[in-house]
Amino acid sequence: MLTQDEIKQLVAKQAAQLVQNNMIVGIGSGSTVYWLIMELGKQVKKGLLFQAVPTSKKTAALAAQQNIPLAELNDVNAIDLTIDGADEIDPNLQMIKGGGGALLQEKMVAAASRELLILADHTKLVQHLGQFPLPIEVIPFGWKQVQREIRETYQVEPTLRMLNDQPLVSDHGHYILDCPFQKIENPDILTYELNGIPGVVENGLFVNMADLALIGFPDGRTETMHK
């Protein structure tokens, strides 16, 4: 049986084969994407020519180490394919993302993409979103007001994400509230409501964005889920 890391390597290797010459490719964030970048680095050494639009500073640094040519989102008209991971994914390809703190850039790059491919191991498959705490990116000014409104509206306890006893600061200077909704019945409604709260920059619900998902299993199988 494969370990979780080996499953991630398996799906990353398959996904890397989809990247072709002259494509503009969005590169997500997270542990599975690490293996994707390693695979794409090997392809670049063999002569593959493409440009990558990274979704975080960490992804950009890792891709640069592999000599993958980088582009800014502002410098491209559209992205041919974005490959990213997920923290939860349901049967309709609705997702929770942002466990790594890069949800704003991930969503912007996904929205600019002609196709969004999600890589995940079988543990990320759920019937209903919400067991994984939903990340909500907020501006630091007045963040406790946002926390209070979410708490009172939804009867959940948003937790400020910390790093080394300080609030974790996103690439764009924001804080992240992790919200344990447990079971999200209508992600399309919730994402709209949350983004309407003053002070909320973006939330980690990715609704109707993924086109397909490549899921890996411990026995070495992979399955493709389509929209």
For the stretch 97-151, pLDDT in tens is 999 999 999 999 999 999 999 999 999 999 999 999 999 999 999 999 999 999 9
Question: Is 97 assigned to a binding site?
Answer: yes
Distance between CA 2 and CA 71 in Å, rounded? 35
Question: Is 170 assigned to a binding site?
Answer: no
Question: Is 29 assigned to a binding site?
Answer: yes
Say what the pLDDT of residue 134 is: 99
Q: Is the pTM of this model over 0.85?
A: yes
Q: Please, what sign has the CA dihedral across residues 159, 160, 166, 169?
A: positive
* Amino acid letter, residue 113: S
Residues of the chain with pLDDT > 70: what percent?
Answer: 100
Question: Is 98 assigned to a binding site?
Answer: yes
Say what the pLDDT of residue 48 is: 98
User: Sorting pLDDT into bands at 50, 70 and 90, what band is 82?
Assistant: very high
* Amino acid letter, residue 68: I
Say what the pLDDT of residue 183 is: 98
CATH for 4-125+207-226? 3.40.50.1360
Say what the pLDDT of residue 91 is: 97
CATH top-level class of 134-202? alpha beta
Distances in Å between the Cα of 112 and the Cα atoms of 9, 55, 83, 147, 189 are 26, 12, 12, 30, 22
Mean pLDDT, to the nearest integer, of 27-32?
95
Distance between CA 96 and CA 204 in Å, rounded? 5
Q: What are phi and psi of 120, to 5 degrees?
A: -160, 155
Which H/E stretch holds residue 166? Answer: strand 166-167
Mean pLDDT, to the nearest integer, of 162-181?
98
Question: Is 55 assigned to a binding site?
Answer: no
| Delimiting residues of CATH 3.40.50.1360 domain(s) in the chain | 4-125+207-226
Known catalytic residues are 106
Say what the pLDDT of residue 56 is: 97
| Delimiting residues of CATH 3.30.70.260 domain(s) in the chain | 134-202
Say what the pLDDT of residue 138 is: 99
What are the residues facing 202 on neighbouring strands?
137
Question: Is 32 assigned to a binding site?
Answer: yes
